[in-house]
Amino acid sequence: MLEPERLAALRAQFAQSYGDPPPTLLARAPGRVNLIGEHTDYNGLPVFPMALQRNVAYLVRPRADARVRLVNREARYGAREFEIERAIPPFEQGDWGNYVKAAAQMLATRFPLRRGFDAAVDGNVPLAAGLSSSSATLVGALLALMRINQVELPLPELQELAAQAERYVGVAGGGMDQAISLGGRAGHALVIDFHPVRMQPTPMPGDWRFVVANTLVMAEKSGAAREAYNARTRECREALARFLAHPSAAGLPTSYYGLVHGVPLEGLLTLAGQALEGELQKRFRHVVSEGARVEEARLAMLRGDARAFGRLMDASHRSLREDYEVSSSELDQLVAIAREAGALGARLSGAGFGGCSVALCLEREAPRVVEALARRYYAARPAFSGEALFIAEASDGARVVEL
């Protein structure tokens, strides 16, 4: 369940930090790459991610009291400690310990949480890269605390709760990252709808490869990109309100979900042209067209039609760049390199403003795409560590096991 060397290193760190007795639980939660359906989740529209082979792992020894102690294998994340209580004050903004506090706070609000833990933590999800390392950190802590305190919840409820928990760090996010980290399935990508969470696992055709490439530009959601992200969520709400207030929208469904499912896209875009202008028109256009693309993409994957899936990814990227304005020159460059090297489609993945791109290619083209990205993007960037460019493997969701 964890690579043997990683587990051994984590055990050694645990022993060094806390001594005996040894840890008894291992919780691990994967990051994710979103294939299509970007900036849709907080608008009540579906997403289409897969859980990654990269994860955050907690080696845990339950405590008899309500204290939580954390050490991280990554030196820049210092040791943290806190007490589980009714209102848990956050560490400084951007502190990694806040994702653990977020999990504890959410559970403590709903359940009598008597026991904390001592844990050694290790992650190999690239940070601030749009691959959801933050949600993986939160979900791992959540599962460990639930197991120790004997809290059990049905999966959809847990997915909803984990999404709410992350608001503790001040991001008005959707529920995609937590839902896929908890619900991922090996060999599948999942269409996920929200309120309530519903999942449609879709088998990944055997010869499809998704190549993930990190711009190496950090999109720190707890920091600089946070304002831009939260601004988009406000703009989407305002665009919908103004759209619905316009006379030509009279009698139409009143949510993005209702509009995408109840009105043909062409008609919706024409109406948006009448009812909205400027930025709000562009944001609205992205949200409804992206919502419609997710269902088309699901059908394309079911048919094994990689070309159609690739075209949808290209359209998604254009829309994110031009209408949603969350791309960057580095993301555009990675997308262009992948396409020129034979990928069938490519786009930014995650919130944007830096982070990663994802490209679809057939197995036989994958080495060429990877080689082109390494040569044309990373050769000039010394920060490249081999970690930045990889082929995604659709993996299982978070688990906690007794050792």
Task: Determine the 3-state secondary structure of 257 from DSSP.
Answer: helix
> What is residue 292's three-state secondary structure?
helix
Q: Which stretch binds ligand NG1 (CB under 6 A): 35-43, 268-276, 338-346, 385-393?
A: 35-43
DSSP 105: H
Taking the complex as a whole, how short is the minimal distance between the CB of residue 352 and ligand NG1, in angstroms? Answer: 7
Q: How far is the CB of 221 from ligand NG1 (least distance, A)?
A: 5
Question: Which of 41, 118, 122, 177 is labelled catalytic?
Answer: 177
3-class DSSP state for residue 68?
strand
Considering the complex, what minimum distance in angstroms separates the CB of residue 52 from ligand NG1? 12
Tokens found for residue 268: 């919706």
Q: Residue holding tokens 């639930």?
A: 146
Contacts of 133 (CB under 8 A, 6+ apart): 31, 56, 123, 125, 126, 127
Cβ of residue 102: shortest distance to ligand NG1, in angstroms?
A: 10
Asked whether position 31 contacts ligand NG1 by CB under 6 A, the answer is no
Does 99 help bind ligand NG1 (rule: CB under 6 A)? no
Instruction: Compose the 322-351 pattern: x for residues touching ligand NG1 by CB under 6 A, - for all others.
Output: ----------------------------xx
By DSSP bridging, strand 208-214 and strand 67-72 are: unpaired
Residue 60 vs 288, nearer CB to ligand NG1: 288
What is the spatial distance between Cα 219 and Cα 201, in angstroms, rounded to a whole number?
28
From the list 42, 168, 256, 378, which residue makes contact with ligand NG1 (rule: CB under 6 A)?
Answer: 42
With H, G, I as helix, E, B as strand and everything else as coil, classify residue 265. Answer: helix
Task: Report helix, strand and coil shares of the chain as percent, to nearest 5.
Answer: 45, 20, 35
Helix (H) or strand (E) holding 346: strand 345-349
Nearer to ligand NG1, 271 or 348 (CB): 348
Task: State the Cα–Cα distance between residues 21 and 119, nearest whole angstrom.
Answer: 12
Whether 177 is a known active-site residue: answer: yes
Q: Which is nearer to ligand NG1, 127 or 372 (CB)?
A: 127
Q: Mask of contacts with ligand NG1, 190-229, x by CB under 6 A? A: -------------------------------x--------
Q: Which of 10, 23, 28, 41 binds ligand NG1 (CB under 6 A)?
A: 41
According to the binding rule CB under 6 A, does residue 272 interact with ligand NG1?
no
- Half-sphere exposure of residue 357, counting CA atoms within 13 Å on the CB side? 32
Query: What amino acid positions are annotated as catalytic residues?
Result: 177
Residues that bind ligand NG1 (CB under 6 A): 38-39, 41-42, 130, 132, 134-135, 166, 171, 173-174, 176-177, 221, 350-351
